[in-house]
Amino acid sequence: MLQGKTIGLVLSGGGIRGMAHIGLIKAMREHGIEAGMVAGTSIGALVGALYANGNSAESMLNFFRETPLFQYSFFAINKPGFIDTERYINIFKVFFPQDAFEGLKKPLFVVATDLLSGYEKVFHEGELIRPLLASAALPPVFSPVDIGGILYADGGIMNNFPKEYLEDRMEFIIGSNVSITVPLQKKDLKNSLQLASRVTSLMIHASNKEKLHECNLFIEPAELEKIGVLDKKGIENAYRIGYEHGSRAIEKMLKSQTSS
């Protein structure tokens, strides 16, 4: 039974598709389910931080609706990447004025990639905003983030579903994966960009599929495949998909518990 158990929430990377995480969180709250600890990568780290901060689902959505993805003044100069990730610090300070993991209401684990050593790095204490930005700094679009003289980029490069940081701390793990791979037609792989995107998504999915299925409850909505990773027009649709899948998964779990 779920009652009385400590609950951990794991949120994957996946760009705008990560709005499905917010839908799942809304469904959890409607069923009286609250996670005590969160781990996330990339967009999952951002949503996880807002959740750990106590924000409502609508407030979380507004954060992503209002934050500019591609703003001309944010273009990188003398930095690798098209967009200067550190230009987002002031925007994030509105939501996280304390700029500290300790200022959140729940423990949070954020994964980023150390580009210099080639290892993953988990942040869970001290400064909050730079690790969040680093975790979501998808190359080559966003520039790496300098933390303590080390360049960090998107956590999904090394670990897109950081379940291992919660499994020994929590008794019941809820997972949400929005890095979806579905079968394609040959016509869907016409150019180098499509090929690179497909190969990357297959690599990420293969490395995290087993961990996802080890969760006590998880969602992985196939419909998210139709939403572009950086397509802000997909925000509402991804949120709705996550909410519907989350509600069904929770209701199915609760029904099986009462019948057993």
* Catalytic center residues: 42, 154
- Count of CB atoms situated within 10 Å of the CB of 145: 26
- 36 vs 168, 173, 174, CA distance in Å? 13, 10, 11
- H or E element: which one contains 63? helix 57-66
- 98 vs 79, 94, 102, CA distance in Å? 27, 9, 9
4: tokens are 């009385």
Backbone φ, ψ for residue 79 (5° rounding): -140, 150
69: tokens are 């993805």
Calpha distance 14→201 (Å, rounded): 9
Cα angle, residue 202 at apex, residues 39 and 226 outer, rounded to 5°:
85
Q: What is the DSSP string of 185-233?
A: -GGG--SHHHHHHHHHHHHHHHHHHHHHHTSSEEE--GGGGGS-TT-GG
Contact 142, 83 (CB under 8 A): yes
